[in-house]
Chain A
Amino acid sequence: MLDYLAGRFGQLLLVLFGVSVVVFVTMHLLPGDVATLLLGDRATAASLARLRHQLGLDQPVIVQYWRFLAGALSGDFGTSLRDNRPAFGEVLAAFPVTLELTLSALLLAVTIGVPLGVVAALKEGTWIDTAITTPTLFGVSMPVFWLGLMALLLFSEKLGWLPVGGMMPIGIHMARPTGLSIVDAALSGRAALVWQAVLHLILPAATLATIPLALITRITRGEMLASMHLEYVRTARAKGLPEGRVIRAHILRNALIPVLTVIGLQLGLLLSGAVLTETIFSLPGLGRLMVDAILARDYPVVQAGAVFVATVFVLVNLGVDLCYAVLDPRIRRQ
């Protein structure tokens, strides 16, 4: 197990190193000179040179990368070219919004998808099965952007049941110690604020959850059906276990292992989906920050954001792998 952990940690460092190289190279290969972009066409050669020197752009690429890497290791990606605030700080400030959105979506997808998959499998071939599986066929291929807009039009614009966007009604102020709006609202001790936070989160989270929900339902159903007829399930029945326990402890327990992998893989999709969702619903999250920063060539922020997202992604995958090892003893020895 320790070897396994050490190996995984080594992999993590490698991936992060790769990401840093890719991010660095991409930003420096982008068409257009950063200094020109920042100062505009009418800048003098002298001011351009001064800015390049300030930004370190007059150094050899290797030196630039080395500075970038050294800075990145201490969380220093430079300051935003737009407002001079630390780039990493902006990323950290935006992250809770994305985290809350992603976690809510994941929670929705798992708590609804797994039971739906189980029921569909237990009722295989009946109308209940069909009623559950047919929508998931559309669900997996739904374009998030279109779905979000439609939901927004229907529930907010037309029916007026849910807020149009943002995280709180305009004009409401509360302290934001964690940046997670539901948690902050709860900490403020005002129930009405919690309710508002939830209302604002419903549409974006549901939008983002659609694809993973459909996928998790399908995978759970498939894995349940696959393990249902295995011989150890027959052994469980031969022991005289009640059917509920056979399903929970033997069929579902083993079916969940591959489901967990899919959930882990979904996290990448969720993060990219979050970019779109935040844009549609005007949420000040990481996705929005990155899009704005890319459009403005604010490369310190883009670099900080990319490295941060990659780190989160790799850590989450490590976590999933560890869960996997706990759930499936056969993995542990490899």
Chain B
Amino acid sequence: MSEPLLAVDDLSLAYGEVPALRHVSLSVGRGESLVIVGESGSGKSSLGLAVMRLLPRTARITSGAIRFRGRDGAITELAAADAASLQRLRGREIGMIFQEPMTSLNPVYRIGEQIIEALRTHEVLPRAAARERAAALLAHLGVPEAARRMEAFPHELSGGLRQRVMIAIALVCNPSLLIADEPTTALDVTIQAQILELLKRLCRERGMALLFITHHLGVAREVAQRILVLYAGRVVEVGPAAAVIARPLHPYTRALLQSVPRLGANKNQTILPAIGGAVPDSAHLPPGCAFAPRCPAFVPGLCDRAPPPLSAFGTERSVRCFRAWELAS
């Protein structure tokens, strides 16, 4: 990728003194979909929010850069950007949707109003025109009777419809990147599949890039072109989705694949029955490989001395495991 849309470089982030991301690098090309996978607490949301610079006040970016290439070709370093440039990019060039469509919408405004607000923040156009565009977008997103639904309040809609409204808010200005943080986790299985299908279609139609966050590899495989696996705030594996799923390199990725087989099963899975244990306390990582205490391939004297580096595996893949080569053959 010669000219990525988004390039995160060596990003570290801490809540107070407790690190949540450690030297994370990734890139997303134009129109590409990258899925971040990891158990709850691995730092996925922090990563998404860092790109939007919507982190809570207690969070500090301690190293690294987040470069975003705007429509005009200019690159903005988001980690150091001022409020004005962030406001210009948010909602206009980068959209974001969240896990809880109920609480993510303001309960006191009609949904049409909330979509129009996003549109009119970035584009100068008359109310009537904005309303028309919002309704057309809702209809396009599969909301029945869109014009009438514009008058509804969030509590009058189902979870699936609310998430479509969130998508409309995020997409109404045609952003080139959509960040979706577990957008289907709170939804029923059938609705989940519909929303994933919808997101895929939208990316295709608009040439929009997708940074999709999930703890569920089954969901990841539905939308991903590339997959990045996060463990305890570190990238442990990254590569093309098909290759990662067909032949995972990191023991953690393998465990994820074994424990969450299909979309829809194990809806809120956070522990891995195949390996047991939980993500280590981020303040006290083991001295060697962070996955060592849970790893079936752990070798004393090798894995517990220093953290393994993220190393290239072929041209398109990387993995953070001392034994990846050995295990792959």
Name A residues whose Cβ lies closer than 8 Å to a Cβ of B.
229-232, 234-243, 245, 249-250, 253-254, 257, 327-330
Contact = CB atoms under 8 A, between A and B. Distances in A.
A234 B104 contact: yes
B54 A234 contact: yes
Nearest to A237: B54
B176 to A, nearest CB: 14
Contact of B91 (A239, A249, A253, A328): A239
Contact of B89 (A240, A257, A328): A240
A227 to B, nearest CB: 10
Interface in B105-125: 105-108, 110, 117-118, 121-122
A148 B122 CA distance: 53
A230 B86 CA distance: 20
A327 B98 contact: no
Contacts of B166: 235
B103 A241 contact: no
Closest 6 CB pairs of A and B: A240-B91, A240-B90, A239-B91, A239-B118, A232-B106, A231-B103
A257 B98 CA distance: 25
A254 B106 contact: yes
B103 A238 contact: no
Nearest to A229: B56
A238 B96 contact: yes
Residue among B87, B90, B104, B106 facing the most chain A CB atoms (10 A cut-off):
B106
Nearest to A329: B153
A238 B170 CA distance: 8
Nearest to A232: B106
B208 interface: no
A329 B153 CA distance: 7
Given A329-B107, A330-B153, A240 B169 contact: no
Contacts of A232: 103-107
B104 A231 contact: yes
21 contacts: A231-B98, A232-B103, A235-B104, A235-B166, A238-B52, A238-B95, A239-B117, A240-B88, A240-B90, A240-B91, A241-B91, A243-B83, A245-B121, A249-B117, A250-B106, A253-B108, A254-B107, A327-B108, A329-B107, A329-B108, A330-B155
A253 B109 CA distance: 10
Contacts of A328: 107-108
A26 B169 CA distance: 61
B100 interface: yes
B121 A238 contact: no
Nearest to A234: B54
Contacts of A330: 107, 153, 155
Contacts of B155: 329-330
B105 A235 contact: yes
B92 interface: yes
B266 to A, nearest CB: 25
